[in-house]
Amino acid sequence: MQKIQPFHLAIPVDNLEKARKFYRETLNLEEGRSSDHWVDFNFFGHQLVIHYKAASEIDNSGSNPVDGKDVPIPHFGVVLDWETFNSFSQELKTKNVDFVIEPYIRFEGQAGEQATMFFKDPCGNALEFKAFKNIDQLFEK
């Protein structure tokens, strides 16, 4: 089996300091290198870089219906283990994160059973965090 390599993701933010505070304090991500136009973070073992971009140049307004919910498009996130997802979602609730889609279980009792949640950063970027009851079913049909 091939070892999973960290990915690199760069996203636009229209307020660098507000976004920096959110990723550092709300999500508890470790901050890495930075400049006056960008900041990188350890995003659960992956590299996330927030880059300043004017609000007029960013469009995060789309969605698609899934399970009767409006899933924000575009979005990004990571797959966590089941226990980490549960503790992380509880921590976000105590920090009064405004969920687009509250944490819930999809495909309960079926192949691909997963927990998922969506919320946005202060600049409108949608994030999804999920966990699989059985990680071997990540791509199960």
pLDDT at 3 over 90: no
The proportion of the chain whose per-residue pLDDT surpasses 70, expressed as a percent, equals: 99
Q: CA–CA separation, 113 vs 86, rounded Å?
A: 14
pLDDT in tens, 71-80: 999 999 999 9
Instruction: Compute the residue count for the chain.
Output: 141
What domains appear along the chain, each with residue ranges and CATH number? 7-54 (3.10.180.10), 64-141 (3.10.180.10)
